């Protein structure tokens, strides 16, 4: 009983610390394949296999009730603390290569996701790519602004140069 209580407390802590939680069914995967899957997104998430009842209790204790319907069959939980898109891509790509892995759904920003929405999340570009695009757009806007603010001064300098040339002639 004490080990179950400790497991629930540990799972609840993971639910509370996670940006997102993604549920999968892992029936038919070997231990080596599970290790490969864990390693594919180790920097952004932890991947745990736990009894559905313990996961349900921990999620409910953390204030998450949207996962109750997804907790059937052998369930593994990806607790995302890093980039959610990278983890969703890792799960999707692994599921393509290993059809035994089934993405069930999850929670992201307090909203329930079904399997199709997790796949849409995986189609997004990574955080770094989106930040790079935003930085490029800002840099282009700043360059345009610099040219715009510099135009009157350049025009004045050309006019002053023309006036000086005219007076010299």
Q: What is the pLDDT of residues 102-144, one digit of tens each?
A: 999 888 888 888 888 888 887 776 667 767 777 777 776 666 6
Q: Give the global pTM.
A: 0.70
Q: How far apart are the first and last CA of the chain?
A: 102
Closest CA to 39 of 119, 81, 94: 94
Answer whether residue 156 shows pLDDT above 70: no
């Amino acid at each position: 009983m004490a080990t179950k209580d400790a497991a629930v407390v540990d799972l609840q802590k993971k639910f509370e610390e996670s940006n997102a939680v993604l549920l999968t069914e892992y029936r038919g995967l070997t231990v080596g394949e599970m290790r490969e899957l864990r390693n594919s997104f180790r920097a952004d998430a932890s991947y745990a296999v736990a009894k559905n009842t313990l996961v349900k209790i921990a999620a409910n204790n953390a204030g998450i009730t949207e996962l109750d319907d997804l907790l059937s069959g052998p369930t593994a939980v990806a607790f995302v603390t890093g980039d959610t898109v990278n983890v969703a891509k890792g799960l999707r790509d692994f599921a393509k290569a290993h059809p035994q892995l089934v993405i069930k759904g999850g929670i992201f920003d307090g909203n329930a996701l079904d399997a199709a929405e997790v796949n849409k999340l995986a189609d997004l570009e990574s955080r770094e790519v989106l930040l790079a695009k935003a930085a490029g757009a800002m840099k282009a806007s700043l360059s345009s602004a610099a040219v715009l603010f510099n135009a009157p001064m350049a025009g004045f300098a050309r006019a002053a140069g023309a006036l000086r040339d005219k007076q010299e002639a």
